[in-house]
Every structure is written in structure tokens, then in C-alpha cells.
Amino acid sequence: MSSTPGNRRQWEELLQGSIKFPDRWHVLPHEMVLMLFAGAACLRVGFAAGFDQPNSILFLLYLLSLLWVIGWCQLRPSPVRWRCRMLLTLTISGLCYFSLSTAVPMMYNPEGLESLIWQQDTILKRWDVLLLGDFPSKLMTLNLPNWTSDLLMACYFFFFYYIVGGLLYYLITDLKRFRYAVVGFGLIYALGYVGYILMPAVGPFDQLGQRQGGWLTDVGGAFIVQRSNGVDVFPSIHMAASLYLLMFDFQYRRNHFWWVLAPTIGLWISTVYLRYHYGVDLVAGIILALGCWWLMRWFTVSRLCAEVEAECDAQGQKPAHAPLEG
């Protein structure tokens, strides 16, 4: 085998695992906001109830996990690693949602005293009247046939198909568009969690009672109440995330947009009719969706996006092992 400088460099790369620390670290906007949120939540719980509390430790672990997956992907930014990175980021975001169920009460009421009321439902009801009059309250108390209530409950559950199936399509078919979608989608959840902390509320059903209707309304309502984190009212992420995905589909997947438009509108109506959200929550959700859509569009034309795509494409085209000359 000939011994040339090119061969020696190839052997050195093989022995060193071809690991090269990047000159520039690429942290996406939603990752930055989610890390800031996790760090702030860790500190908020820690100062309120102690840094040895499980919730404080959990949010610290979420922060460290985000740092790890970003670094792991950045060392060798292949398409596979990028998909893993974004999926893990979405998973951590989901875990943050469930952790807020005990973390938020601890932030406001570390001693667990029942006399201390920290929910902001009264303020949200006032905002409802100020901005929307009595329309939300009329929709919450409207009596419709059982089949109509069941239909609206089905629309409410359609949300879970949309946030999973809508993103899964782009994950499988187009990494670049999946990255675009996750940037705005992740921002919606991270900023929505900030709203949950600043304006924690239970929702109208706590005062009005669970909506009664057909079997789907009854069974679905019990399922949702049991799995709610108890503070997920303002802003309405149901509104924000579904509106964002609807706009994304309108631009990149027009046929699917027309298929999901009607059930998505039904979803928006159902959030108030089923007494899970105040009207003002939907208004805040619309503002959040539009803001995150703008940030996503900014990202797609930014230098950061161009560098990420070039780096990912270059790594994806690079052979797994350097060829050896004989």
C-alpha cells in the first residue's frame, strides 16, 4: 500500500473516529427558548421550595438533556442525528408539560396550604367579558344535542392526530421542512408553558362542571380531566399549535390543509364549548401562533438555517469510511 500524505490523513481520521469539534455551534430558536424555560423553572421551584425538590431536579435534567442532544448532533450533524435531536427535543417538551402539574403549585404555594389561592381563573373571566362580551359564556352554557357534543369532542381529540400525524409526515418525507415545522411548533409550546406559569388556571369546567352529552363526551371528558396538568389554560396551545400547523400545511401541503380545515375549526369551537378554555385563551393562542409563524419564517431565510442545512448536507454526503488507496 502506498504511503502518501493523503493516506496518512485518512488513517488519522479513522483512528480518531473522524470527530471534529465544530467551529460554530448551531442552536435553533425553539431549543434556546426551551432551555431558558427549563432553567427558569428549575430556579423558580428551587428558590420557592428547595433545590432538592424532585421538580427542580427534573427541570435541571431536562436542561442537561437538551444540551447533550444538541452537542451529540453537532459533533456529526447527519440527517439521522438531526431527526433524533428534534424528536428528543419534542419529547422533553412533552415531559415539561406533565411536570408543570406539580411544579406550578409549588412555585406559588410551596407549603401546600389550601387557603392560598393562586389560580387566575377570575382574571381570565374578566378579560373574557372585556374583550369578547358574553359570547364565550353563552357558548359554554349552550345546550346542544348529544350527537353534536360528541362530534365536537371528536374534533377536540383530532388535535392529537394533527400534532403527531402532521409532524410525522414531514419527519418521514422532508427533513428540511420538518426542521422548519419543529422550530415554530417548539416555540409555541415553550412560550405557552411560560403562560402556564405566569397565568395558571384550571378552566371554566371547574365552576360550570364537566360538559354532559353522549358517551364520547362523557368518556372523553373524564379522560381529558384526568390527564390535564391543571394549569394548561392560558394561552390555548390547542388553538396555537393547530393554527400553526394549518398555516404550515397551507404553504407546504395544500391538499392536506383542505382535509383538516373543517375538523380544526371544530376543534377551536370545542375548546370553549366543552369548557376547557376561556375565549381569551384562544385570542392569546392566535397571537402566539402568528408570532411563532413569523419567527419560523425568519429562521428559514436566516444565516443559521443556511449553515445548518449546508452542514447537514455535507455530512450526509460524506462516506462512512474514508477510501483506502492500494
Q: For residue 226, what pLDDT is reported?
A: 79
Q: Determine the structural domain holding residue 48 and report its residue range.
A: 10-317
> Does the structure show a pLDDT above 70 at 205?
yes
Q: For residue 223, what pLDDT is reported?
A: 84
Angle of helix 303-317 relative to helix 79-108, nearest 10 degrees, comes to 130
- Inside any domain, residue 149: yes
- Inside any domain, residue 1: no
Position 24 confidence tier, pLDDT thresholds 50, 70, 90: low
Q: For the chain, what is the domain count? A: 1
pTM, entire model: 0.87
Cell of 36: 431558558
> Does the structure show a pLDDT above 90 at 2?
no
Query: How many angstroms separate the CA atoms of 236 and 189, rounded?
Result: 10
- Inside any domain, residue 5: no
Burial class of residue 154 (count of CB atoms within 10 Å of its CB; 0-12, 13-18, 19+): middle
- Phi first, then psi: give them for residue 274, nearest 5 degrees: -80, 0
- Inside any domain, residue 326: no
**Average confidence (pLDDT) over 99-110:** 87
Q: For residue 103, what pLDDT is reported?
A: 92
- Inside any domain, residue 3: no
Taking only the tens place, the pLDDT of each residue in 115-149 is 457 788 899 999 999 999 989 999 999 888 999 99
**Average confidence (pLDDT) over 31-56:** 94
Taking only the tens place, the pLDDT of each residue in 27-37 is 999 999 999 99
> Does the structure show a pLDDT above 90 at 301?
yes
- Inside any domain, residue 93: yes
Cell of 87: 424528536
Taking only the tens place, the pLDDT of each residue in 217-260 is 888 888 887 788 889 999 999 999 999 999 999 999 999 999 99
